[in-house]
Structure 1
Amino acid sequence: MTEIAPALAPLLVTLPLLGAAIALIAGRHRRTQVVVSVVTLTVVCVIAAILLAVVDGGDQAIAVSVGGWPIPVGIVIYVDRLAALLVMVSSVVLLAVLLFSVGQGAADGDDDTPVTIFHPTYLILAAGIFTAFIAGDLFNLYVGFEILLVASYVLITLGGTESRIRTGVVYIVVSLVSSILFLAAIAMIYAALGTVNIVQISERMPELPQETQLVLHLLLLLAFSIKAAVFPLSFWLPDSYPTAPAPVTAVFAGLLTKVGVYAIIRTETEMFLDNDVNTLLLWVAMATMIVGVLGAVAQAELKRILSFTLVSHVGYMIFGLAIATPAAIGATIYYMVHHIVVQTTLFLAVGLVERRAGSTSILKVKGLMKAAPLIAVLYFIPAVNLGGLPPFSGFIGKYAIFDAAAEVGSPLMITLIVAGIVTSLLTLYALMRAWNLAFWREGEDSVETDARIEYLGDAPAAGIQTERRVIPRIMTASTAGMVALTVALTVFAGPLYDVCTRIGAALLEPVTLVQLEEQHQISTGGDDKSLDVDQGGTP
């Protein structure tokens, strides 16, 4: 298996692109497009699992030089534990959401997700996500982001309604600003260091004056923070995501901000070890947690509640990263995996609520516990998980981050722990308030007469009402499968957390270019230029 692993790595990107081309050629042949999309994502998931087993078991990462160019001149595909884990989790989430959308399309036709456009664009989105995760240099990370941008703009405006076009324009403008900042940072880094290869950047960066390093550092952080929805650069997210079709909202919420978080992790652990801005990140993390969850408490529409909790929980990841210890980085990776799965699951469950009740406003929906007990369960389990109740994975991840912060023990760390606990409690309050109103409240109960929550009547989309629709079994089954996966994160927390711990330790020990050249055996002829490297850094 070790011998074929380098040949499998490029397939993580080429298979989705090939699948997108086939799906586009298939045109309006719905079944063909569905089969192509499902098979493509399933194969990518299997390949990612194989690569994770190889790099974790052999304690060596996989790098492949594309097109025969010498390292570090050419494009390098790099798969370490972190990249393989995130590709595997992302492909599972993408597959589950795809099955959900197949059921929705079969029931509703092409109103929300036009099949001819949806499947090719969805696979291109997947290719962009995977490209970002396995990029070995900044320019190809930028390419991954741009593939994401193009595909996500098409998906977020599917159906062509006024609200979707309006929020899509905001989304595209904000994303373009982020891309311009990122491209400017790449140009400045290349001008200063003569390379965009991440391992060369990490070697040459200490040669620059601290002031220059700080400018480059903050410019990259600014670009990635917009994509990750870090406060105060998260203003675009709560209005953009809720208007999209349910499957699109689910995959955006679960994955797109995590690509930004992933880029921040690579930046902080590999390129700027001698120029840390951890104190700044800690304050930003605290603001992101508190402001995001306060926004969630003030909402009356389920998608907006979840969008604000998404922002607040990005704060936990920035918090763990800013602690900058191996244990904290490992806990951050675990929490990142947890949040990808749980947040996606909650948006799928809300999609079921919308179809069953004809609304996602907690002021309008009522009595679902009796009317749809299965949906009640599918919402409740990931909700309490996201709220951090033990023994779920949300509690495990938060506790691990808090424990790493407590080991440092500074006053700012203690303050962040308190902020994290408050955020967790408020998250649980917002989600359980929605549970109480939408599922437990009976028909005769009136929200308007309850002084405790009458303020919600002025919240955005508080009076939203749509038509009730049939829920195909495949939509329920895919949501149930994701709920089972959230439970699996708890049941198998030990092995997964061990992998994340090894990732955290390796990320803080980046490989040097000399080690890279010594350890790589570059083949000649028409074969791929493939090699094994220590997992500490990215070539």
Structure 2
Amino acid sequence: MTPSLALPLLVPLLAGTLSLVAWRWQALQRAIAVLGTLTLLACGLWLLASVWQDGIRVLQVGGWPAPFGISLVADLLSALMVVITGLIGLAVALYSLATTGKGHEAFGYFPLLHLLLAGVVGAFLTGDIFNLYVWFEVMLVASFALLTLGGEKAQMEGAIKYVTLNLLSSVIFLMAVGLLYGLVGSLNMAHVARRVATLDGGPIEALALMFLVAFGIKAAAFPLFFWLPASYHTPPVAVSALFAGLLTKVGVYALYRVFTLIFPLGSGQAQQILLWGAGLTMLTGVLGAMVQFDLRRILSFHIVSQIGYMLLGLALFTPLAVLAGIFYIVHHIIVKSNLFLIGGIVHRLHGSYRLEHLGGMYHRSPWMAVLFLVAALSLAGMPPLSGFFAKFLILRAGLEAGAFGVTAIAVLVGLLTLYSMLKIWAEVFWKALPEGSPRIAVLARGERWLMLLPVVGLAVCTLLIGLQAGPLYGIAEAAAQQLLAPERYIEAVLGEEMVP
């Protein structure tokens, strides 16, 4: 028995609907949040196993054949991303039980959480370029609402910057979709890829650059990344962790999908822009993190920095590089979400994110210090954690491709990331708590376990990927092979009779 492609999409939509029905019963909303995200994770694992065994799976919605109807498509990359979405969704749902105030819940926190997850999953599974735009807008609406829950001044300022740049991206994206439809007469990505392959010249290059700019903004790539560090530190910490893990990765996923299927990278202008954009994204992100002294701002700038590594994997466009990029995406989603969750525990205990107000955590909570080191050293690429293998694969791919300049930048950024993480360790965990700092809080037993359980779970995932990298490496390798052989995707969606 094989799973329906609609299940991972229907689960968060149904959970969100049930949460709205249970608007007056917050305890029921909490139970739906945990059960819904757990079910999404199970559906993702089921889908990944099915795709691994049977190949690319396609669902023609409403029975309309492609390219006339809407297609849902799952290859190894999209199925893997659905699994990670379910994992992060479950971790955030558990964490939210201890950290989300009743005021936020009363204004629809859990329905918005499910709507956001539905938008993420829809973007990963859609086979239609216009529906990709639709799911991006679903994410934008849900994320904007989550950003503004509470209505604090800092939240509103961050939300305005966030929505302004993302609306600009959406406008460029929609214009590109309209021009693409006018050029090839189709919106089905497989059908578009088939027709674009017969065309050449300036219009195709211009369209590729428009998609590159639109998705680059959503991925927080250089130079239009400043909306991210201006907004991700303002919402409740569970929301920050969800955003840090998933939202920018949807933009990265869209780049991987479009620039392997519709506009395969070669030696053209888009590849060179993407290559040096990756290097500048890495460098500007880590330099921004180094001058910050607010924990969440530091972590936000590091999101930008790490996005550069993922873009580098695509820009090099070799089998090893694409493999490394996919491996890096999975590693970073887990690690970065966990760092934000740990930051939330620090804030709950000390009442501040400012490094000068923090200290003494190592003596007060040595296990928390260990959990932070697992995530922080993995982000910096230290062995034997998941980040070491992710960075090693990226650097090896860069050297094999002869991209020595941007590879040198990647090495430098790794060292600066290590410095930045050690700065947090020294300020938050190692030094003594400064006099006059906010009073140390005491967590209730249930609250403590609800916050620690997802942190420990994600740390275990980081360790397992580092110590047993083979399974993820195998999936990433097979996913890269599928991406670099787009005719498999086209044949699965359109059928053999429509493939030239």
**TM-score, with normalisation over the residues of structure 1?**
0.88
Pair 1:387-2:380 in alignment = yes
Partner Cα separation in structure 2 for residue 312 and residue 95 of structure 1: 26
Partner Cα separation in structure 1 for residue 175 and residue 442 of structure 2: 47
Question: Match for residue 310 of structure 1?
Answer: 303
Question: Match for residue 431 of structure 2?
Answer: 441
Letter in 1 for 2:78: A
Consecutive unaligned residues in structure 2, runs of 5 or more: none
The question of whether the paired residues in 2 share the 8 Å contact of 1:28 and 1:116 is answered with: no
Partner Cα separation in structure 1 for residue 296 and residue 263 of structure 2: 37
Aligned residues: 493
Partner Cα separation in structure 1 for residue 264 and residue 127 of structure 2: 18
Secondary structure at 1:212's aligned position in 2?
A: helix
Question: Match for residue 422 of structure 2?
Answer: 432
Matches for 1:123-522 after TM superposition, within 5 Å? 123-273=114-264, 276=268, 277-409=270-402, 413-443=403-433, 468=441, 470=443, 472=447, 473-511=449-487, 513=490, 516-519=493-496
Pair 1:96-2:91 in alignment = yes
Partner Cα separation in structure 2 for residue 469 and residue 191 of structure 1: 61
Partner Cα separation in structure 1 for residue 440 and residue 240 of structure 2: 19
| Residues 274, 407 of structure 1: alpha-carbon distance in 2 compared, 3 angstrom cutoff | closer
1:56 counterpart (40, 52, 58): 52
Secondary structure at 2:355's aligned position in 1?
A: coil
| Residues 466, 337 of structure 1: alpha-carbon distance in 2 compared, 3 angstrom cutoff | farther
Pair 1:84-2:79 in alignment = yes
| Runs of 4+ residues deviating >6 angstroms | none
Deviates more, 1:75-84 or 1:474-483: 474-483
Question: Match for residue 29 of structure 1?
Answer: 25
Partner Cα separation in structure 1 for residue 220 and residue 442 of structure 2: 32
Q: Larger % of helix: which?
A: 2
Partner Cα separation in structure 1 for residue 50 and residue 408 of structure 2: 40
Secondary structure at 1:63's aligned position in 2?
A: strand
The question of whether the paired residues in 2 share the 8 Å contact of 1:24 and 1:116 is answered with: no
The question of whether the paired residues in 1 share the 8 Å contact of 2:190 and 2:494 is answered with: no
Superposition deviation, residue 469 in structure 1: 6.5
| Residues 475, 204 of structure 1: alpha-carbon distance in 2 compared, 3 angstrom cutoff | same
Partner Cα separation in structure 2 for residue 444 and residue 158 of structure 1: 32
Partner Cα separation in structure 2 for residue 67 and residue 115 of structure 1: 36
**TM-score, with normalisation over the residues of structure 2?**
0.95
Letter in 2 for 1:426: L
Partner Cα separation in structure 2 for residue 445 and residue 154 of structure 1: 38
Pair 1:110-2:102 in alignment = yes
Superposition deviation, residue 134 in structure 1: 0.3
Pair 1:9-2:5 in alignment = yes
Superposition deviation, residue 467 in structure 1: 8.6
| Residues 481, 38 of structure 1: alpha-carbon distance in 2 compared, 3 angstrom cutoff | same
| Residues 226, 517 of structure 1: alpha-carbon distance in 2 compared, 3 angstrom cutoff | closer
The question of whether the paired residues in 1 share the 8 Å contact of 2:388 and 2:466 is answered with: no
Deviates more, 1:43-52 or 1:302-311: 43-52
Superposition deviation, residue 169 in structure 1: 1.6
Q: Percent identity?
A: 38
Partner Cα separation in structure 1 for residue 391 and residue 52 of structure 2: 24
Superposition deviation, residue 434 in structure 1: 1.1
Secondary structure at 2:56's aligned position in 1?
A: strand
Question: Match for residue 529 of structure 1?
Answer: none
| Residues 203, 517 of structure 1: alpha-carbon distance in 2 compared, 3 angstrom cutoff | closer
The question of whether the paired residues in 2 share the 8 Å contact of 1:26 and 1:33 is answered with: yes
Consecutive unaligned residues in structure 1, runs of 5 or more: 447-462, 521-532
| Residues 285, 445 of structure 1: alpha-carbon distance in 2 compared, 3 angstrom cutoff | farther
The question of whether the paired residues in 2 share the 8 Å contact of 1:359 and 1:466 is answered with: no
Question: Match for residue 453 of structure 1?
Answer: none
Secondary structure at 2:59's aligned position in 1?
A: strand
Secondary structure at 1:230's aligned position in 2?
A: coil
Higher relative contact order (CA 8 A, sep 6+): 1
Superposition deviation, residue 116 in structure 1: 4.8
The question of whether the paired residues in 1 share the 8 Å contact of 2:71 and 2:493 is answered with: no
Partner Cα separation in structure 2 for residue 117 and residue 300 of structure 1: 32
The question of whether the paired residues in 1 share the 8 Å contact of 2:116 and 2:143 is answered with: yes
The question of whether the paired residues in 2 share the 8 Å contact of 1:353 and 1:375 is answered with: no
Secondary structure at 1:470's aligned position in 2?
A: coil
- The root-mean-square deviation of aligned C-alpha atoms, in Å, is 2.0
